[in-house]
Structure 1
Amino acid sequence: MRSWSGIKKQDALVFDAELFEQLQILVAQGESQYLEFKRKVSEGGEKIVRELIAFANSSGGTLLIGVGDDKTIPGVKYPEDESLAVQQALEKVQPALNIEETWIAIGNNRTVLQYVVHVSDNRPHFIADDQGAREYFIRSADKSIRASREMREIIKRRLKKRDIRFHYGEHEHFLMQYLANNKTITLSEFVGLSGLKKFYASNKLILLVSANVLRIIPSERGDQFTLAFTKS
């Protein structure tokens, strides 16, 4: 059994008006936390797989190949080639992803490939490059971004579903006071203001997010942390 087994495809590719209408309704929603459009597969399918990893590591989602960012639906001419490129790239993902693939005929010998990804119980997933370096991705709004060390550790701890205990010391008190007067703080800001070494500051933030005291807001420019509950 290959690592991408579980992919489902229509047995016979024929135009289905109802399925096409469902596709149009979905595309009309635009890209979001749970929906991504790609015009075609490129770079051996690895960019596509990064999106699928991000969905699996976050809250799940749907990726459509053959749909433009402007919500047009040109489809792809050779769905077999597109699908094969994705399948081959999926073989590099660890742990293996469970993806549902559907081919949707749109007429004029064109097809849209739909990939549905459910949030994974085996997250965080990653893809390794030729040197073995791991890349993790998560979904943030309508973008798939690299997951920080803090985000990866938070994902792992959430899956364990254990009660989290932490020591409320001077640094935790300082952090609560700071966030009571400032909306967010970054890891580098916390390090600079607290005097803690980066490793210890990082672990405190991870622990407080895991205990639902803080909330993490992933960003390409660096995660931000805010109070999980604020007074209205």
Structure 2
Amino acid sequence: MKTTYEISLKEINEWVKKGEHQTLEFKKKIAHPEKVVREVVAFANSQGGKIIIGVDDDRTVSGLRYAEEEQYALEEAIKRYCHPPIHFTSHLISLSEKKGVVVFLIEESLQKPHMVIENPEMLPGKAYVRVNDKSIQASKEMREILKHSKKNKELRFQFGEKEAKLMQHLALHGSITKSTFCKIAGIPSAVASRTLVLLVLTNVLRIHPDDKEDWYVAKE
């Protein structure tokens, strides 16, 4: 939705100088709004963030000739493709009579995980999370962690043989993936998945999402 809060061009230039990072994404224009909603979902599932539209690859704030149309297109795409609905605000900043910059502010959500649903028949859709300057698809484990991380439910686990092998591996190597956990513990993927999710939710491990395979470290 649009807002009366005003963002100055000076603020935009200061943001752009820092480059893309965990909470900032640039776009030259919105050629495919249904793809840009992945960034929106990733921000909502992570720490929130800003999308600035009208910035060139070299960080020049060149603006958009049809800024209001691009703003409307992305607003409608967010409403259409994101589930559950995501809270955001959009701002149009004029550079000249013909050009403007659009800024979308996305808050970190309390209703995680949010999904991109490009086809209503392809539920539940795909979740994304923000990792540094990239938005990557969330794994099954990451989705479960997002789903349960804000719930005030007390979780417990029994420290058994598989957990002991996992912690021994972490003591030697510093990190572990689900596939490695399956191998060293001799357990099925589903068991490894449930165990890793529970250990993250009970603050024993920390998950690091990765577009190839998530990895886990012991929480300090």
TM-score range (shorter-chain normalised) is: over 0.9
* Alignment match of 2:199 (pick from 199, 208, 213): 208
List per-residue Cα deviations over 1:24-53 (Å, max 9, x = no partner): 11111110001000111022x012111010
The letter for the 2-side match of 1:104 is: I
The letter for the 2-side match of 1:122 is: Q
Match of 1:74 in 2: 62
Distance 2:52 2:21 in 1: 12
The answer as to whether partners of 1:138 and 1:146 remain within 8 angstroms in 2 is yes
The answer as to whether partners of 1:126 and 1:135 remain within 8 angstroms in 2 is yes
Cα-Cα RMSD: 1.6
Alignment of 1:94-173 (within 5 A): 94-107=83-96, 109-130=98-119, 131-133=121-123, 134-173=125-164
List per-residue Cα deviations over 1:58-102 (Å, max 9, x = no partner): 010111011123211111110122122212211221111111100
Residue 9 of structure 1: how far off its partner (Å):
4.2
Distance 1:129 1:20 in 2: 34
Q: Does 1:23 align with 2:24?
A: no
The letter for the 1-side match of 2:214 is: D
Unaligned runs of 5+ in 2: none
Alignment of 1:178-197 (within 5 A): 178-197=169-188
The answer as to whether partners of 2:68 and 2:92 remain within 8 angstroms in 1 is no
TM-score (norm 2): 0.94
Distance 1:53 1:175 in 2: 32
Match of 2:27 in 1: 38
List per-residue Cα deviations over 1:135-157 (Å, max 9, x = no partner): 11100111000000100100111
Unaligned runs of 5+ in 1: 1-6
The letter for the 1-side match of 2:113 is: P
Match of 2:209 in 1: 218
Aligned length: 217
**What SS class does the counterpart of residue 135 from structure 1 fall into?**
coil
Distance 1:9 1:69 in 2: 27
The answer as to whether partners of 1:41 and 1:48 remain within 8 angstroms in 2 is yes
Distance 1:82 1:93 in 2: 18
Match of 2:75 in 1: 87
The runs of 4+ residues in structure 1 deviating greater than 4 Å are: none
**What SS class does the counterpart of residue 58 from structure 2 fall into?**
coil
Match of 1:8 in 2: 2
Residue 128 of structure 1: how far off its partner (Å):
1.5
Match of 2:53 in 1: 65
The answer as to whether partners of 1:9 and 1:103 remain within 8 angstroms in 2 is no
Percent identity between matched residues is 38
TM-score (norm 1): 0.89
